[in-house]
Amino acid sequence: MATLYTQQEKNISKTWFFLMGFFGLVIAVGWVFAQVNDNPAILVFAVVLAIIMNFGAFWFSDSIVLRMVNAQLIEKKEDAPELWNIVENLSITAGLPMPKVYIVEDPSPNAFATGRNPEHAALAVHTGLLKILNRSELEGVLAHELSHVGNRDTLISTIAVVLAGMIAILSDWMLRSMFWGGRRRGNDNEGGNGLMLILGIVVAILAPLFATMMRLAISRKREFLADASGALLTRYPEGLASALEKIEGLHAESTTANSATATLYFANPFEGSGRFIAKLFATHPPTVERIAALRNMPAPVKQ
């Protein structure tokens, strides 16, 4: 029977798989740019920068994100007793260390988890979420976020965000360098340099697009898994389904989130984006699909 930890080992393996995949993409992009500019130092620079950014993402991503949204740490139970009790009880049930709990002054109903592992996890809740949800709905949302921690989703999400950003930086730099210096290099060897220049332009345009699609696809898949794990944790899928309905009905955009961190949130922090191609670049699966999946789950057996 599925538990909170059913996918944990697989997700740890997938974390390293995607890390190596993204890292390989960075190296490939760096190699192409080095060839176009006839400068091997560019490849070395790309590899070193990728290592530094990964190191920073692993050790400091949680504190960086929390500072970006001006999250306030709940230092003692008396500061937010109901929120503290729910997180504490769910952590005990899940067999996880209790994460640090933060409140973000933001009218949009949302929450997110961050941290490199369960021992260094943090859970941030918007004031807008606390205002509109009842206890069972809030438990559903917090169980979902704790499931991200238990399933080791927070690390892979951070890695994906950082490396996708790294590829975007390299591609932007490449396009600028070709604009200013591409014609001059092309006169030396029309055949070889011309083909490499075309390849460089294609890579510079498509690599960030591909990296972004990978990052968003990872995010959407993780949301379905966390919904299922959270519902099993509370043994009340309707609480989470009801919370999703309330949040979807408000259509409130966040005042603290940004496009780089949007995949970390429980729900899309910005307005919905329609259909077709827009759905391919959505940070979260459609809410109606998440609700349907929850309400089609077999009723958990109460113990």
Question: Is 202 among the domain residues?
Answer: yes
For residue 303, being part of any structural domain is answered with: no
- The number of distinct structural domains making up the chain is 1
**pLDDT for 44:** 87
Q: What is the pLDDT of residues 120-164, one digit of tens each?
A: 999 999 999 999 999 999 999 999 999 999 887 877 776 777 767
Report if residue 252 sits inside a domain. Answer: yes
The whole domain housing 164 covers 8-295
Confidence of residue 183 (pLDDT cuts 50, 70, 90): very low
- Point out the residues that are catalytic: 145
Structure confidence by residue, pLDDT tens digits, 74-119: 999 999 999 999 999 999 999 999 999 999 999 999 999 998 889 9
Q: What is the mean pLDDT of residues 62-83?
A: 92
> Would 3 be classed as within a structural domain?
no
pTM metric for this prediction: 0.79
301 in a structural domain: no
Range scoring the smallest mean pLDDT among 11-15, 111-115, 268-272? 11-15
Is there a domain that residue 302 lies in?
no
Residue-wise DSSP of the chain: ---TTTTHHHHHHHHHHHHHHHHHHHHHHHHHHHHHHT-THHHHHHHHHHHHHHHHHHHHHHHHHHHHTT-EE--SGGGSHHHHHHHHHHHHHHT-PPPEEEEE--SS--EEEE-SSGGG-EEEEEHHHHHH--HHHHHHHHHHHHHHHHTTHHHHHHHHHHHHHHHHHHHHHHHHHHHHHHHHHHTT-HHHHHHHHHHHHHHHHHHHHHHHHHHHHHHHHHHHHHHHHHHHHHT-HHHHHHHHHHHHHH-PPPSS--TTTGGGBSS-SS----STHHHHT-SS--HHHHHHHHHTSPPPPP-
Q: Is residue 26 part of a domain?
A: yes
Residue 242 lies in a domain: yes
Q: At 14, is the pLDDT very low, low, confident or very high (cuts 50, 70, 90)? A: low
